[in-house]
Amino acid sequence: MTEPIWDKETFRAHLQEIGSRAYHDKHPFHLRMNNGELSPEAIRGWVANRFYYQRNIPRKDAAILSNCPLRQVRRIWIHRITDHDGNVENPGGIEAWLQLGRACGLTEVELWDDAHLRPGVRFAVDAYVEFARTQPWPIAIASSLTELFAPDLMATRLAAFTKYYHWIDPEGLSYFRNRLSQARRDSGEALEITLEYCRTAETQRAALKALEFKCDVLWSMLDSIDKAYP
């Protein structure tokens, strides 16, 4: 029997359902972070490990672009690389995360040299970059739809850092502030592309699995960090 093709609203609802049950905002490490229960060592460990993810985002997006033959999609997607790598007008997300690291007491040498990187985090991030490189571009784009759920997490995180972690210089929180608006824009773009170019039962199912995979990547990163900083 042929699988049904969902209309856009039904497809959108299935994507949203994955986030409601699998996004990493529900991870115990994040819950402790948002309740002000993490030690400075744990915060620094999270920042250092998450930096490996941040600096690989442009590589992931470059892989998607290299596989995409559609000019109109590339034009939409390409800003993500400079959003993170930066340019002469905007220092970018990687620089903002380095600023967060400095505000937490980490040096740039520690961050760039992976001095605190856990093997599980490296494995998860590398798997995500490889997924973007090897999967069809619409499916790789669908994996980025965790951004749909990021603005609420960023707002909660920003409030928690401001309320509980007074030892962190507030100037270091610019990454979180910037992503409040960037994540909404980026997720809107990715969602429209996914809804438009995943129009068969096969690609719709693959898009759901891609989003579940990305949720697993983020969850696995936190598992590894959580074990290192209980």
Q: What is the pLDDT of residues 64-105, one digit of tens each?
A: 999 999 999 999 999 999 999 999 889 999 999 999 999 999
d(CA 139, CA 194): 8
The reply to whether 166 falls in a domain is yes
pTM of the entire structure?
0.95
pLDDT of residue 1: 44
pLDDT of residue 137: 98
The reply to whether 74 falls in a domain is yes
Residues of the chain with pLDDT under 70: 1-2
Tally of domains within the chain: 1
The reply to whether 3 falls in a domain is no
CA nearest 68: which of 147, 142, 141, 144? 141
The reply to whether 173 falls in a domain is yes
The reply to whether 1 falls in a domain is no
Q: Residue 137 is part of a domain; what is its CATH number?
A: 1.20.910.10
The reply to whether 2 falls in a domain is no
pLDDT of residue 2: 59
Helices (H), 68-200: 71-77, 79-85, 93-104, 108-112, 119-134, 137-143, 150-164, 174-197
The reply to whether 186 falls in a domain is yes
Helix, strand, coil percentages in the chain from 3-state DSSP, rounded to 5:
80, 0, 20
